[in-house]
Amino acid sequence: MDILQKTVFINAPMYAVWDSLTVPEFIQEWMYDSPIEIQTDWKVGSTIIMGGDLHGIPFINSGTILELDPGIKLCYSFLSSLSNLPDTEESYCILEFNLTHEDKQTGLELTIRNFPDEVIRKHLELYWGPTVELIKQQTENRQI
């Protein structure tokens, strides 16, 4: 199975990195330049919806929380309306975030799998490469 993995080490405690992944105002800092709305209750089986406007184009990213170990692991399915793919199980990617304590740092590992096609894979690789670095930067800046 084709997977994409990105890992960064962040000079912040695990709880601060977790907040960057789950607190809407912090997600906004690294996700998009324009405002987004995030709807979820962060419970396994619940939906997660992120909507907004990307360069004048409205979008909705939707999925389901698949796994949740607060402060350690977050895994959810993901489908963007911008992909124009049908709302079927095969169209959803899986995003998994794992946090580890690494000698005064927090390791953030992102694994993405279940790509519906190569175009989506390449887009997510281009997006998440700099985005994990932005999560690192934003989280560390909040620690100052």
Structural domain range at position 127: 3-142
Phi-psi region of 85 (alpha: psi -120 to 50; beta: other; left: phi over 0): beta
Written as tens digits, the pLDDT of the chain (144 aa) is: 589 999 999 999 999 999 999 999 999 888 866 788 999 999 999 999 999 887 788 889 999 999 999 999 999 999 999 899 999 999 999 999 999 998 899 999 999 999 999 999 999 999 999 999 999 999 999 987
SS3 track for 1-66: CCEEEEEEEECCCHHHHHHHHHCHHHHHHHHCCCCEEEECCCCCCCEEEEEEEECCEEEEEEEEEE
Structural domain total, the chain? 1
Q: Are strands 93-102 and 3-10 parallel, antiparallel or unpaired?
A: unpaired
Report the CATH number that the domain containing residue 54 is assigned in CATH.
Answer: 3.30.530.20
User: CB-based contacts of 127: which residues, under 8 Å, 6+ apart?
Assistant: none
Report the amino acid identity of residue 23: V
User: What is the pLDDT, as a whole number, of residue 53?
Assistant: 84
